[in-house]
Structure 1
Amino acid sequence: MTLNETYEKEVRIPVSIVNVPDNVVLISPSTDTMKVVVRDKGLVLLGYEYRDILRPLRINFKSYVRGTESASITSAELQRFIYQQLSASTKIVSIKPDKSEFFFNYGLCKRVPVRWRGHVVPEQLYFISHVDYQPDSVDVYAAEEKLDSIDVVYTETLNYDNFRDTLSITCGLQKIRGAKCVPDRIKMAFYTDVLTEANMSVPVTGVNFPDGKVLRTFPSKVTVHFVTGISRLKKLRPSDFTVVADYEEIMRHPSDKCAVHLKGIPHDVSRAKIDVGSVDYLIEEE
């Protein structure tokens, strides 16, 4: 850089909100950074870079609050504050962002659950059996209308794959304009299990049968085929599944056989199906 030539240079100036009352919750960060492109001689620009000339802008909270739960400082106002620190020969070319905006409220919040978002896929033959959140809910501060629209907070987009052991991470939460999450970072653990194919004999249960009528099926049980994790399989019981024959369906479609349907499937079980679609039956009087 030649000292007597004119150049443009980007400088960064922190912007802080000060004199915030104790009963106010700042939803936006209390400190932001403006990217300011200035034009001047090389000698002046070097002074901005290596001397402590540019101080943080301190925005007085009470000067910009007009009764609403947001406030903004225009580009013209920001330029006026910045020019007070610049050499008389320096010109501002651009400011990003072109205005400083902040949100606040007086403690209104609600607690909402956290859910993960993104791509988290373990190695082949493994699956995610359980996700643990610490904490599993966060407090969201925002204006009442904004709070009404928020029922869940998602993590930042995750991207992990090809793991087989428990994946433990710390991640941030997705930014919501006009809202603040406390805390804004959480710990998560993705627990894995090995996939296995299995089957189980499950009794056929009659549903919607009138009092005094009893269903007898032949066979009395059908085989349910499914995929689950090895550790989950050890805890499964036939009673965790529900296979039914519906009296009303039998009356609508009289036949020697009645249709059976798999209605109840426990969590962490996939690709569940029964080996037959119908069975022989009798309807007896009690």
Structure 2
Amino acid sequence: MKPGKWKIPDSIRGGKPSQFVFFFFVSCLLWFLIKLPNRYTSTVSLRPEYSGVPQEKLLVDPPKNIKVDINAKGMRLLSMKYFGRNVDIDLSALRKKTSDTYYLLAGDLRKQLAGSLPEDVEVRRFAGDTLFFSLGENITKAITVIPRTDITFAKDYRIYDSLTVEPENVEVFGPDVEVNKLDTLFTVKLTMKNVSENINSAVALDVPSGFGHLKFKDKNVIIKARVERFSENKLTVPVFVINVPEDKEVKTFPSEIEIKFTGALRDISKLKPSDFKVICDYRAVTDSVNYLPLKVSEMPETVKETELSRHGVEILVKQPASEM
């Protein structure tokens, strides 16, 4: 090929369809370049950079983009439409709507954008007439933690007293508009199978979405529980009658009853009949009823469940010997 001359590719010289595509592309490119100096109106997305927030306030989830119709030359418009543009937004002159909601009117925003956009860019219209903002004050609050668990135990084993969380309350720091929405915090679910030993597990807090500005003094808590082997035992205990008039003497039939109880093996093996009290109430006696229901009125705290061998006893009433 001689210097200074263009060589047309064989694919273009080889057929009419290829020539058409090539010249169509060149025509479109020339048309595009010719039109670029002209002015057009289109919607672009601006990326705001906020300043001027009052020192005692915190900006919560501000708008990340502002949609606006602008009029500009083709090249400028093309650049802003596809690459966006950062703009400065001063919030020192916000208008107040509620205790934590503020806003800027389109007119206020138009004045500010005039200083951030090039002189040849004309702001025509905003996607909304008003831009809203949420401002909060940083506060600290103690939030109650509730454990989520899925625990199954080995045969005859169970929790001795109760499941506990340490700490029971977690201090949360952040904007009041978020902190005040929290009354409780749950943990991530603790799953344990076939448990026969004490529980002592670190579990993370399950922070709900939408609270990204909060800081937690503790991000994990300890779920604890004392686990014991449980068993059943039986004792024969006397039956007591309460509310007996002074002028009456009563006996029950039977005078003793068997009580079956459940508790931790280490506890129930030490219990005696005197640790329980089974009663019936004389006031339930009528001319036609002398069968009184029984209930357990006293038992050790270590006993979890009780069951009596019968639901009631017969009562025999007689006058004192001195009156006969």
Superposition TM-score tier, normalisation by shorter sequence: 0.5 to 0.7
Question: Counterpart in 2 of 1:131?
Answer: 163
Once the two structures are superposed, the pairs formed by residues 1-286 of structure 1 within 5 Å of their partners are 18-20=54-56, 30-38=58-66, 43-44=79-80, 46=83, 53=86, 70-74=99-103, 76=105, 80=109, 84=113, 87=117, 99-102=132-135, 114=144, 116=146, 119-125=148-154, 127-128=158-159, 129-137=161-169, 153-156=183-186, 158-163=188-193, 164=195, 165-171=199-205, 187-194=221-228, 196-201=230-235, 203-210=238-245, 217=252, 218-226=254-262, 228-230=263-265, 243-251=278-286, 254-255=289-290, 257-262=291-296, 272-282=306-316
Point out the structure with max Rg over C-alpha. Answer: 2
Letter aligned with residue 223 of structure 1: I
Letter aligned with residue 184 of structure 2: Y
Distance in 2, Cα, partners of 1:13 & 1:181: 24
How well do the aligned residues superpose, as a CA RMSD in angstroms? 5.7
Q: Deviations over 1:67-106 (max 9, x none)?
A: x8x32113747x9399749645798658xxx74335669x
Identity %, equivalent residues: 14
Distance in 2, Cα, partners of 1:74 & 1:140: 28
SS in 2 for 1:196: strand
Structure 2 portions without partners, runs of 5+: 1-35, 37-41, 69-76, 174-180
Give 1:36 shift.
Answer: 3.1
Distance in 1, Cα, partners of 2:312 & 2:284: 12
SS in 1 for 2:189: strand
Q: Which has the higher contact order (CA 8 A, sep 6+)?
A: 1
Give 1:123 shift.
Answer: 2.0
Per the normalisation by structure 2, the TM-score is 0.49
Identify the structure with the greater strand proportion. 1
Q: Deviations over 1:124-177 (max 9, x none)?
A: 445444233334357899xxxxxxxx9x943236423234333332426789x9
Distance in 1, Cα, partners of 2:272 & 2:50: 61
Contact 2:59–2:133 (Cα < 8 Å) also in 1? no
Per the normalisation by structure 1, the TM-score is 0.53
Q: Deviations over 1:159-215 (max 9, x none)?
A: 23234333332426789x9xx999686734231525634134355444444457676
